[in-house]
Amino acid sequence: MYVGRMIERVQEPTFLILTALATGPQHGYGIIKDAESISGGAVTLRVGTLYGALDRLAGQGLVELDHEEVVDSRLRRYYRLTDAGRERLAQEADRIRRQAEAALARLRSAGPAPQAPAVTA
């Protein structure tokens, strides 16, 4: 029976967005490129997905607008993590680490994977 506080798991795109913002404010394109790098190229955020997530995360108090600037006649918004966002990212990273450690420990204790029998024709 679980007695501690239940923390809702964040989806991978959200985790990558929060991780991208952990080092400081970034604009949308920077977040997209950073998330792709962090995921080893496995995840490419779409613009609509990113801004929908940023709006949701701002509503939850996890990110906020840092500043805006005009570049080539276009408005560029920079976002940053709030203290609550940093705490949530730390909790999620810890949860993922614990699960990965448990998986690796089980793999080590199980020994080498059994070999499939040879197939003869």
Nearest residue to 28 (alpha-carbon basis) of 61, 77, 71, 67: 77
Q: What is the pTM of this model?
A: 0.83
pLDDT of residue 5: 58
Q: Kindly write down the DSSP assignment for every residue of 14-61, as one continuous string.
A: HHHHHHHHTTS-EEHHHHHHHHHHHTTTS----HHHHHHHHHHHHHTT
Rounded to whole angstroms, the Cα distance separating 47 from 73 reads 19
Reply yes or no on domain 12-94 having CATH 3.30.379.10: no
For 33-60, give one letter per residue: b (16+ CB within 10 A) or e: ebbbebbeeeeebeeeebeebbeebeee
Dihedral-angle region of residue 29 (phi above 0 means left; psi in -120 to 50 means alpha; beta otherwise):
alpha
The SS3 assignment for 112 reads: coil
pLDDT in tens, the chain (121 residues): 445 555 678 899 999 999 999 999 999 999 999 999 999 999 999 999 999 999 999 999 999 999 999 999 999 999 999 999 999 999 999 999 999 999 999 999 987 777 777 776 6
As given in the structure block, the two tokens for residue 98 are: 């614990």
Residue with tokens 């203290």: 83
pLDDT of residue 1: 45
